[in-house]
Amino acid sequence: MPRQTYAVILAGGGGTRLWPASRRRRPKQFLALAPGGRTLLAATVARVRPLMPLERVLVVTAAEQTPETKAALPGLPADNLVVEPVARNTAPAIALAARELLRRGAGDAVMAVLPSDHLVADESAFQRVLEQALSAGERHLVTVGIRPTRPETGYGYLEVGTRKDGAASAVERFVEKPDLARARQYVEAGNFLWNSGMFFFRADRLLAETQRHLPEVAAALDGSYADGPAISIDYGIMEKAEDIWAVPGEFGWNDVGTWTALADVHPDDPAGNVRVGGPLLALAAARNVVVGEQLVALVGVDDLVVVATGDAILIAPRSRAQDVRAIVAELEKRKMDSYL
């Protein structure tokens, strides 16, 4: 393990794939979808706590989400909130956090950059991988790659070569979301990993790479952040830089990309119904995923996703959980902004 490590948790994102629970002003990381009724954000912080004290956890958030972020993390020192004036995607957000570390005299610290809206089933395994990736992060630009368990077409992949440095393998290339045939090849080949969105590097190294590959982002750090470009670290740095390494991980990673993903991490009842939130009464009803605080009574329905909030309810077959996007698009088209 490096002498000094920090967790940098990216909590400024948006997204509507978990509508109606996720909204413009209440993105996914603030939803209580982690086991025990915690928010995904709080669970993310709890997951790194065995490796570093709360004093060394920075949370990057957008200005408008500051109150909700503080509420979700009551123990976090106020100074450890890194506030983006406006959301500008991951590359500027991470550079902002790296500069904060420089300001603290910790430019040589290794940052573990973590999304705030994922779930991890096996936390011990996750922490072991985190230690390996932090070690490799002293010398390289490192990501954690998830060993694929299915030919998923919704993720990007990393192809790794045979060169090794400790637990890390050299990344040969980044691959965009593949079609099914290609995804099957990747799973079979064995040297492809899912891009998890976790990154490990020294703060000063990241700032140097930002200066080199994204000079406009670097400039925006000293000028007007809002005027800088919005760009992801994958596209802006990782896919262009040399010296990219990946530590493979298997720890029940789940990006909670659709409502059905909850079925992978939450326990189910004997009929296979998964309930997150309030009580469920299921009569002759099986394999439903039900989210929300209200009592939900199901009679004779199977394989549904049901998500209820105070002002909106979604009902769809599990197989069409990704069609939530069509609902959100329709709401935008009809200018039903109060539901967005």
**Binding residues for a copy of itself (CB under 8 A):** 20, 279, 281, 283, 292, 294-301, 304, 306, 308-317, 320, 323-324, 326-327, 330-331, 336, 339
| Nearest distance in Å: CB 255, a copy of itself | 21
| Nearest distance in Å: CB 259, a copy of itself | 11
- Residue 1 vs 315, nearer CB to a copy of itself: 315
- Residue 216 vs 303, nearer CB to a copy of itself: 303
- In angstroms, the CA 265 to CA 243 distance is 34
Q: Are strands 81-84 and 157-165 parallel, antiparallel or unpaired?
A: unpaired
| Nearest distance in Å: CB 257, a copy of itself | 16
- Residue 180 vs 283, nearer CB to a copy of itself: 283
The token pair at 141 is: 């630009």
CB 43 within 8 A of CB 65: no
- Residue 121 vs 326, nearer CB to a copy of itself: 326
- Residue 232 vs 322, nearer CB to a copy of itself: 322
CB 286 within 8 A of CB 272: yes
- In angstroms, the CA 260 to CA 263 distance is 6
- In angstroms, the CA 57 to CA 48 distance is 8
- In angstroms, the CA 121 to CA 217 distance is 35
| Nearest distance in Å: CB 276, a copy of itself | 14
| Nearest distance in Å: CB 31, a copy of itself | 17
| Nearest distance in Å: CB 19, a copy of itself | 8
Q: Are strands 168-175 and 157-165 parallel, antiparallel or unpaired?
A: antiparallel
The token pair at 180 is: 């099914």
- Residue 270 vs 300, nearer CB to a copy of itself: 300
- Residue 1 vs 326, nearer CB to a copy of itself: 326
What angle (nearest 5°) sits at the alpha carbon of residue 232, between those of residues 231 and 235?
100
The token pair at 274 is: 């998964």
| Nearest distance in Å: CB 44, a copy of itself | 29
The token pair at 78 is: 């106020």
Closest CA to 300 of 288, 318, 291, 309: 288
